[in-house]
Amino acid sequence: MKLTRRELMVSAAGAALAAGLPASLAGTAQAAGQIKYGLLEGKPFAGTKLNILSVVTPQFDGLMLRAGEFKELTGIETEWTFIPFGSLQEKVATEGIAANGQFDVINYLDSWGPPNAHWLTPIDEMMARDGISMERYPAAFARSAQFEGKTLGFPLRAHAQLMFRRQDLIPEAPKTWDELVEIGNKLKVDHPDVAPLALYYNNDGNRQNLFIWLNFLWAAGADVFDEGFKAAWASEAGLKATEDYIGLHTKHKVTNPSSLSFVEQDARQSFMQGKSAMIPVWWWAYSGFTNPKSSTLTKEQVAFSGMPSYLGKTKTYAISMPFSISNYSKHQDAAWEFMKWLSNPEMDKANATVRKVGDKDIVNNVVTHVSSLQDPEVNAANDGIQAAAWESLKESDIMPQIPEWPEVGDLLSAAIAKAAAGGDTRELMMAAAKQSDKVLKRAGRIK
């Protein structure tokens, strides 16, 4: 007779109590009824097939190629559908509207979580039952997968910001944005064929031009919203910080001239092609920067450091792409088994240290567990970039986790793009603030 998950967990709890263990430990990886990674013994969901929706990335290629282990342990098959990042938001929204459970597990950008939270399954009770804590992730990563006090998923692709530079052209990393401007001005004289800095001001629909802006905003002591959800970027400190961010392009002219049209991918390409000497970007980009298949640069030419400070303070933006279980899935218990396997610390470490899975080369430096970020073997395999990311994450925050954020973020992104193109920064940001206040008043957040 095949037991249900509930019956199995009750049985495990009873065994724990009979052994004199506290009930809270029933269902942990050490309790009766579980095997490796805390998976249920006996393969209760054997024969189930799970459909996984994921962004295209070598990191998740590495996980998908290891799915044979999951099938061997559980009898559960998986089929992965990979979508380019630029198309993923629309695909996720379509799945939410269709409500047909086509995909059991969904991968999405953290800021898309709140608008879709109504169809993503909270996992707090399952984590407590199976002895999993979100404390295994850096605080910013953990918050990025949570909404209104509930955990919606695991941040399995998550990033810290670092400053990358051409070490052959810029031996010492800029410690402040003012130093970066000085270095940029000197570079324009010494190497006029290389732009000092690749930024991305384009209003691309994914709000990428806010990523570096947030560093300036938070370091200035300002914020996106105040406690009453009014636009706090319209404060004097926020406006000045925005002017300085825009001024890298319009005033100091240390950015690549194409930064107005650049999205993040374009900026990365500019750096890899040797057309820009510095780029502030996610740490995952390092593997591409040093891969001869994608870059003209050698590993010796590429260096990384923490983000520069602004007004004496450094506070960075962190981002994640969680995996969550769809409420519409007909296989939620099996999907939870998959989530446990997918997110285990051993997998996290292996996926950043083992360079070949099956017959495919995997180049990935992304880890999300605190243990992996501090692991000597992981750092040795990736030139110490995890240690640098860990330092960056100690003072990091995330975008506002409210359902209205995409609409408000689009207002800000449009204002930033217009300002970088020569518009009046203060007027544009104040206008965006008025529009944001209307949006949040309509939503009932502003009283």
* Residue 190 sits in the same domain as residue 278: yes
pLDDT at 35: 85
Specify if 127 maps to a domain.
yes
| Chain centroid offset of residue 146 CA | 13
* Residue 352 sits in the same domain as residue 421: no
In DSSP terms, which residues pair with 80 in a beta bridge? 52
pLDDT at 28: 36
61 token code pair? 């290629």
Specify if 324 maps to a domain.
yes
Question: 250 lies in which domain range?
Answer: 161-317+404-442
Residues in the chain predicted with pLDDT less than 50, given as ranges, are 1-32
* Residue 181 sits in the same domain as residue 242: yes
Specify if 430 maps to a domain.
yes
In DSSP terms, which residues pair with 302 in a beta bridge? 166
The CATH number of residue 280's host domain is 3.40.190.10
DSSP 261: T
Asked which of 356, 371, 393 is the last residue of a domain, the reply is 393
Distance (Å, whole) CA 284 – CA 286 = 5
pLDDT of 361-384, one tens digit each?
988 999 999 999 999 999 999 999
Q: What domain count does the chain have?
A: 2
Distance (Å, whole) CA 74 – CA 129 = 19
Specify if 247 maps to a domain.
yes
* Residue 383 sits in the same domain as residue 413: no
pLDDT at 205: 82
pLDDT at 341: 97
* Residue 276 sits in the same domain as residue 420: yes
- Closest by CA to 417, choosing from 209, 263, 182, 275, is 209
Burial of 118 (0-12, 13-18, 19+ CB in 10 A): exposed
* Residue 51 sits in the same domain as residue 130: yes
* Residue 288 sits in the same domain as residue 416: yes
* Residue 39 sits in the same domain as residue 148: yes
Specify if 151 maps to a domain.
yes
* Residue 299 sits in the same domain as residue 371: no
Distance (Å, whole) CA 332 – CA 27 = 17
Specify if 23 maps to a domain.
no
Specify if 273 maps to a domain.
yes
Alpha-carbon dihedral angle through residues 257, 261, 266, 268, given to the nearest 10 degrees: 50
pTM beyond cutoff 0.85: yes
Specify if 16 maps to a domain.
no
